[in-house]
């Protein structure tokens, strides 16, 4: 199971390597997420787990924003590509230090599979969005409607040593959250990665609903 302390260690090591090894691999998912979110000029976006800032070049002109990441090492790389309209802060996504309903949209790319408490991160993100605001998540999720296989849990425990997991189901994360799923589309690796668009609502997602 990931922890903030371990993630700080892992992503300090990943920081100088991340873009060279993974930028091209994840680019199609990031581009699809940007298209799904459809940001417009004048909107304010929250980039949760901004990492090295690979989503920043995909922001359209006229958008302002705030990028949050736990790792100072990753943020050092993000600052090299951040536009003047986007501020970058070091912080814990599970306890966001932002005003309620202060953003139009949020980006959660490759974050929910990494953080120790993804449900808390999702809850904090929804709190930060104005009513009707939207969030996009490009990430890997375990299949819905069936128990997570034991082999997948073992592999997830191993992958956590590298700062990520593979056994989290979207349906489990959104139960009780103030959001609904607008779209959930397959992405890279035969759909093991998904691009999910969420919308902030006043009604929590019902327990036991697994339509994700």
Per-residue pLDDT reduced to its tens digit, 11-66? 889 899 999 999 999 999 999 999 999 999 999 999 999 999 999 999 999 999 99
pLDDT tier at 148, thresholds 50, 70, 90? low
Model-level pTM?
A: 0.89
Q: In what order do the strands lie in the sheet with 44-48?
A: 86-90, 64-69, 44-48, 103-107, 129-140, 193-200, 179-186
pLDDT, residue 145, reads 73
Superfamily of domain 4-200: Vaccinia Virus protein VP39 (3.40.50.150)
Model confidence at 93: pLDDT above 80: yes
Label residue 176 left, alpha or beta by phi (over 0 means left) and psi (-120 to 50 means alpha): left
115-134 average pLDDT score: 96
Model confidence at 75: pLDDT above 80: yes
What is the C-alpha end-to-end distance of the chain, expressed in Å?
24
pLDDT, residue 125, reads 98
Lowest-pLDDT range of 7-11, 78-82, 125-129, 169-173: 7-11
Question: What are 65's strand-pairing partners?
Answer: 45, 86
Percent of the chain with pLDDT over 70: 87
> What is the SS3 assignment for 210?
coil
Q: How far apart (Å, rounded) are the C-alpha atoms in residues 127 and 130?
A: 8
CB atoms within 10 A of CB 150: 9
State the residue for tokens 């940001």.
39
């Amino acid at each position: 199971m990931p922890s903030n302390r371990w993630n700080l260690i892992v992503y300090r090591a990943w920081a100088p390597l991340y873009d060279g090894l993974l930028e091209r691999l994840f680019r199609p998912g990031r581009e699809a997420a940007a298209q799904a979110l459809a940001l417009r000029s004048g909107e304010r976006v929250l980039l949760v787990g901004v990492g090295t800032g690979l989503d920043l070049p995909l922001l359209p002109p006229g958008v302002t924003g705030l990028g949050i990441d736990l790792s100072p090492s990753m943020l050092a790389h993000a600052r090299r590509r951040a536009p003047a309209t986007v501020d970058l802060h070091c912080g814990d996504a599970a306890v966001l230090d932002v005003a309620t309903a202060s953003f139009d949209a949020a980006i959660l790319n490759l974050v929910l599979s990494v953080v120790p408490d993804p449900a808390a991160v999702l809850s904090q993100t929804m709190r930060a969005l104005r009513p009707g605001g939207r969030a996009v998540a490009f990430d890997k999720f375990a299949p819905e409607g069936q128990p997570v296989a034991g082999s997948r849990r073992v592999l997830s425990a191993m992958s956590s040593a590298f700062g990520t997991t593979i056994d989290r189901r979207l349906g489990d994360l959104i139960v009780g959250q103030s959001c609904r799923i607008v779209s959930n589309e397959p992405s890279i690796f035969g759909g093991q990665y998904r691009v999910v668009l969420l919308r902030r609502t006043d009604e929590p997602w019902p327990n036991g609903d697994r339509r994700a």
